[in-house]
Amino acid sequence: MSQADLANEAETRRALINKIERGEANPTLDTIVSIAMALGVNPAELFDQPR
């Protein structure tokens, strides 16, 4: 999924998606939930880190 597709599905700006991916933005909880829903995952999964 492209950043533009994700932004569209999450109803947010592509620039915000880009900044989140680069670690340059702190998304709100609402944005995190929207992104998770767009990806079809539980919001907690966005925070899982490999061990």
Quick: pLDDT tens for 5-48.
999 999 999 999 999 999 999 999 999 999 999 999 999 999 88
pLDDT, position 48: 80
Query: Cβ neighbours of residue 2 under 8 Å, at least 6 residues apart?
Result: none
Which of 50 and 48 is assigned the larger pLDDT?
48
Residue type, 37: M
Query: How many C-beta neighbours within 10 Å does residue 2 have?
Result: 9
At residue 49, does pLDDT exceed 80? Answer: no
Provide the terminal-to-terminal Cα distance of the chain, rounded to the nearest Å.
25
pTM (predicted TM-score) = 0.88
Q: Which CATH number fits domain 3-47: 3.90.870.10, 1.20.930.40, 1.20.120.80, 1.10.260.40?
A: 1.10.260.40
Q: Residue 3: pLDDT above 90?
A: yes
Task: Provide the residue ranges of all domains of the chain, joining segments of one domain with +.
Answer: 3-47
